[in-house]
Chain A
Amino acid sequence: MGIEEKLGYNVLTTTLEKLVDWGRKGSVWPATFGLACCAIEMIVTAANRWDIARFGMEAFRASPRQADLMIVAGTVTKKMMPAIERIYEQMTEPKWVIAMGACACSGGIFDSYAVVQGIDLYLPVDVYIPGCPPRPEGLLYGILKLHEKILHDPFLTAKYRQKVEARQEVA
């Protein structure tokens, strides 16, 4: 949240954090970002059968600056990777990444020279959803998992910052 840096960790800030996390959980805005096959299933999830608006996520933002969640849906090629990295960097904190589909999780069947073997080589992935493509229920289940993580993970607190710094040092 940022406020705890001034006030320290006490009853007030941790309770507030719970409230803020609950609020964040209820309106995760994904970035409109489709790469290949899985993007179609992502669109289907937003359409009427699996109405993603029930999770407060119907606002697919075209601009990464307004988005909280990046659903990497589809095959990530080496040519596309710099663009994805830039989009991720442009997103405002707090941000989450879902690797949707076999290709984003691990490269999938595309064990070829042009395909990045898993988006987690470049970005910190929060939830992996395997399947080629995963069904919309699978994506919704992944989103529920992400909600779980948002509720329980001390995101953007000092601990997380240290983790990020440590990761950057290693990299």
Chain B
Amino acid sequence: MVTYFKEILTGFYSLLAGMAVTIKYFVKPIVTVQYPRQKLSMSPAYRGHTEFVLDLETGTHRCIACEMCARICPSQLITVEGVKIDPKKKVPRKYVIEYQYCSLCGLCVESCPTKALKFSEEYRLAGFSREDCVVDLLARLQAQQQRAGLAVTPRPEARREEGEAKPEGEVKG
């Protein structure tokens, strides 16, 4: 009988002790982020989808369309189509990532020989269809250049005849 009441008392005390902890945190500052009303800044290493590094010296990207990233990608989601603008230089005509397959491992960024890729800080990426998740890196770069007030890198056109190394499109850098 004594143990019974003792148990009730200790139980009651334990509940009070727990309540005290809760009350203690009631007056502490809140930890909730007010996300939709406040833009969050991502950590410096944050991995969003990849994007081209805007090289400020040349005002364009550094991609040489070597397809190293496309080859190392575990999900094979990178499509790179290069075009030769002169015998020694190749630039991408199309660089598309299908972000819905991406596992954000970062192998593409590390494998790039010219360090042309970086992670974007984009986190708002929801869409109404699968196709909304496809990111065109060249289009993204062009928008970025426009915002920075730089000359926009045009998309080089595909060569009409094979074997003819004729520069097409105004590609700088």
Report whether B100 and A48 are in contact in the complex, using a CB–CB cutoff of 8 Å. Answer: no
Is A93's CB within 8 Å of the partner chain B?
Answer: no
Name the one of B32, B33, B74, B100 contacting A130, with C-beta atoms under 8 angstroms: B100
Question: Smallest CB–CB gap between B93 and chain A, Å?
Answer: 25
Contact with B along A94-121 (1 / 0, CB 8 A): 0000000010011111010000001010
Segment touching A, from B56-64, B101-109, B152-160, B165-173: B101-109
Distance between Cα atoms of A160 and B74 in the complex (Å) = 39
Report whether A137 and B126 are in contact in the complex, using a CB–CB cutoff of 8 Å. Answer: no
Report whether A141 and B101 are in contact in the complex, using a CB–CB cutoff of 8 Å. Answer: no
Chain B neighbourhood of A102, CB < 8 A: 100-103
Residues in A57-106 with C-beta less than 8 Å from chain B: 102, 105-106
Residues in A135-150 with C-beta less than 8 Å from chain B: 135, 137-138, 140-142, 144-145, 149
Is B24's CB within 8 Å of the partner chain A?
Answer: no
Name the one of B32, B33, B104, B133 contacting A128, with C-beta atoms under 8 angstroms: B133
Report whether B128 and A109 are in contact in the complex, using a CB–CB cutoff of 8 Å. Answer: no
Is A127's CB within 8 Å of the partner chain B?
Answer: yes
**Chain B residue with Cβ nearest A105:** B100
Q: List the 7 shortest-distance A-B pairs measured between CB atoms, nearest first.
A: A142-B126, A105-B100, A106-B100, A130-B133, A141-B124, A109-B103, A130-B100
> Which B residues contact A (CB, under 8 angstroms)?
31-33, 35-36, 40, 74-75, 98-104, 123-130, 132-133
